[in-house]
Amino acid sequence: MNSLKQLTTILLTGVSIAYPLIWLFAPQDNPAILLYLPYIMAILWGIKSLQAVGFQRFFAMVMSLILVTIGITRSVETMYWYPVIISLMMLAIFGSSLWSSQSIVERLARLQTPDLPQKGIIYTRKVTQVWCLFFILNAIITATLILWEQFEYWAIYTGIVSYIFIGLLMGGEWLVRQWVMKK
């Protein structure tokens, strides 16, 4: 991975993770947040689209366009939907892979185990389905908090709790995988 690609990934990940908390703690009447944050994120997604291929390129371009639109409209309400859009796009990526020859989790598993046995293929499909369920629930919870105008809870959920859930899901999957591999 070249250094620009690494830097883009690090910055985009950091800004995306910090985004809800930045949004919560920044003054809502501060035009700098409305003006700069969406454009900074759009530029990072745009750079990412130039580095990506296939569906990842499409995903990055869509995210960049959405963020430019948010920046142009300067709508506080629209900014809250960014995590919902991310969850739905991740659902599209993971879900669409279930109709291909290899699910996204299988592709990742084959990086470590190129000759994945049939049992592993079945397992990775189930894990992909679990991730799809997570992205659906994550989008529903986040959208509900927005619609109920619970913006402090939105920031805590999208900036902290959802990442804890992701960590628990990854850790839980690792434990289940160890157990399945011993059988």
0.85 cut: is pTM over it?
A: yes
Q: Cβ(45)–Cβ(64) under 8 Å?
A: yes
Low-confidence winner among 102-106, 114-118, 137-141, 178-182 (lowest mean pLDDT) = 178-182
Residue 26's pLDDT is 75
Rounded Cα–Cα distance for residues 134 and 86 (Å): 12
Per-residue pLDDT tens digits for 8-52: 999 998 988 888 888 777 766 666 766 788 899 999 999 999 999
Residue 28's pLDDT is 65
Residue 161's pLDDT is 97
Task: Identify the H or E element spanning 116.
Answer: none
Residue 81's pLDDT is 92
Residue 178's pLDDT is 86
Per-residue pLDDT tens digits for 108-123: 999 998 999 999 999 9
Chain-wide mean pLDDT for the chain?
A: 90
Tell me the pLDDT band of 4, cut-offs 50, 70 and 90. confident
Domain edges within the chain = 1-76, 80-183
